[in-house]
Structure 1
Amino acid sequence: MANIYPYGCFTHAVVRGIPESFGKLAEGGEGLQTDLAKAQRQMGVLTGALRQKVGLQLIEIPAASELPESWRIEDVAVIQGDTALVTRPLKQQRRAEAEAVRRVLSELKLTVLEMGDEEGGSAGATLEGSDVLFTGKEFFVGISKHTNHRGAEVLADTFKDFAVSTVPVCGGSRLKNICSMAGPDTIIISSSDGAKKTLRVMEQLTDHHYEILSVPEDVAANCIYVRGPAKVDFLLHPTAEECPNSVPAFQRLTDYTLLPTACSEASKLGAALSSLCLLINKKPNY
């Protein structure tokens, strides 16, 4: 597979606006009570950090009120190198979110692959990007109510240069609700019993060694690590207000530039910080 870059090296971030229908669920669900204006402010802080502090080129897709969960852009594509796999979310209505994302990825000259029609080789497959953890060495795919084994098989067929292992999501609705990458060799993970069970399975399946950074709050376990264009290590993480007991863990990353980034409104809907963006590397020699 062409253009495999050092882990965390990105040049572009793609985000999608928070719609007026924020807080509602696809396919007629009532959703939860949320603060639309606050969610939009928090998205503004995230995009500002990615563009102004980290130095990424930001691409913003307009909000779509008819697609109330479209702001969870991470769910609709898995990107590695110059290849993007457009996924198939569990909810039928959410699959329409992919159209605008697909157009942007094509404009960036990525190789865009589809999971296929229901009647094709991907029949019955469901896959959401927030169930996919790429470590730079391999993929872990969380088997949850959103992602099934057939979806993991399609991902493995797409990214053949990497091992793909399936793990149970024992402590959250999606894999990235309980863990994420905090650096090239560091997994940050919740200290909940469910997350510990998932971690034990990951450790049994991998041939690689990872440092483990355990945090007491689930929301703190999802971060965004970027090695910026200026070769600075950034970690975007939930704020001290959202996860006060996890601050000491973040502070142990002394070589990083820490960027607290609120995501409380998204968290109410079960979304993690990384759900709000897709990260892409477009430089041939980063």
Structure 2
Amino acid sequence: MANMCPYGLFTHAVVRGIPETFGKAVGDNDENKEASVDLAKAQRQFGCLTGALRQKVGLQLIEIPPDPELPLSWRIEDVAVIHGDTALITRPFREQRRSEVETVRRVMSELNLTVMEMDAIQGNSEGATLEGSDVLFTGREFFVGISSHTNHKGAEVLADAFRDFSVSTVPVCGGARLKNICSMGGADTIIISNSNGAKRTLRMMEQLTDHHYDIVTVPEQSAANCIYIKAPSKRDFLLHRPAEECPDSVSAFQKLQDYTFLPTACSEAAKLGASLSSLCLLVNKKHTYF
């Protein structure tokens, strides 16, 4: 096993602004294609997220300007999987999204990360699709959700890129992407929706791992996606949906001790099938190992 960075320790956040074409892409919402979004509200919520990451958590923020020609590019998590000093540039399912990777690739290079391309990893990657919001890294292993966006070939490419870690595939039951139904709430802690589909996915994850994870179950699926960060100050932060968006899940987070909770609204992006973690890529530039 390679040296492991303390789980959740990050120094930088990379985000991409909300374009004027937000919500205009055909088929960008997997759950409700008739959703009506409020652009100004989405931009305000994005500003609150970036403000929390920079001012409260203390990360260095790299903000890529919005691109109206790429109406889904604000879902930046989909286009890269980052661990340590390696950034795997993914291949989104939709052809029209694949040009989103160019700017992200450049930023990863400017951060001096080792940038890996899917085509260069496997000789037979034709047809492989992989989106970062289907990838859950626990600090010990990767779980890759097999969904309408990510296939088994994409998971195989990720396994080749991060050979020091176990990579297991699980079906995404009851959600568009794996991280719509679960996320990490800290080292060894999984936050997951209470839906029947999420429970089936969790049972599969438990069958595939030798490690015991603490489980925090939330009654609302939209509350299952959180962003856990161990900041440079070594404080534990959890960005989560606020009470006005997920009122029934507030008490579940109280099971997590000694955390700084940062309620962060995401209602407009959620109308398009996104979640909090969709809006950022987190990087540990210091590469502090033990």
Band of TM-score, shorter chain: over 0.9
Residues 182 and 188 in structure 1, CA contact (< 8 A), matched pair in contact too:
yes
What's 2:116 paired with? Answer: 113
The percent of aligned pairs where both chains have the same amino acid is: 75
What's 1:145 paired with? Answer: 148
Q: 1:167 aligns with which of 153, 166, 170?
A: 170
Query: Shift in Å at residue 216 of structure 1?
Result: 0.3
Unaligned runs of 5+ in 1: none
1:282 aligns with 2:246: no
**1:152 match: secondary structure:** helix
1:235-283 C-alpha deviation (Å, 9 max, x unpaired): 0000101100000011222310000000000100000100000000010
What's 1:251 paired with? Answer: 254
Number of matched pairs: 285
What's 2:7 paired with? Answer: 7
Query: Shift in Å at residue 97 of structure 1?
Result: 0.3
Query: Shift in Å at residue 186 of structure 1?
Result: 0.3
Q: 1:74 aligns with which of 60, 77, 101?
A: 77
Higher relative contact order (CA 8 A, sep 6+): 2
Residues 25 and 31 in structure 1, CA contact (< 8 A), matched pair in contact too:
no
Paired with 1:194 and 1:2, the residues of 2 have a C-alpha distance of 34
Paired with 1:16 and 1:250, the residues of 2 have a C-alpha distance of 28
What's 1:38 paired with? Answer: 41
Q: 1:212 aligns with which of 196, 212, 215?
A: 215
What's 2:187 paired with? Answer: 184
Query: Shift in Å at residue 3 of structure 1?
Result: 6.4
1:194 aligns with 2:193: no
1:65 aligns with 2:68: yes
Paired with 2:197 and 2:107, the residues of 1 have a C-alpha distance of 37
Paired with 1:156 and 1:207, the residues of 2 have a C-alpha distance of 18
Paired with 2:103 and 2:36, the residues of 1 have a C-alpha distance of 27
Unaligned runs of 5+ in 2: none
4+ residue segments displaced more than 6 Å? 27-31
Please show how residues 12-23 of structure 1 align to structure 2 within 5 Å. 12-23=12-23
1:160-189 C-alpha deviation (Å, 9 max, x unpaired): 000000000001000000000000010000
Residues 190 and 214 in structure 1, CA contact (< 8 A), matched pair in contact too:
yes
Please show how residues 214-229 of structure 1 align to structure 2 within 5 Å. 214-229=217-232
Paired with 1:177 and 1:25, the residues of 2 have a C-alpha distance of 20
1:240 aligns with 2:276: no
**1:94 match: secondary structure:** helix
The TM-score normalised by the length of structure 1 is 0.96
1:49-88 C-alpha deviation (Å, 9 max, x unpaired): 0000000000000000010100000000000000000000
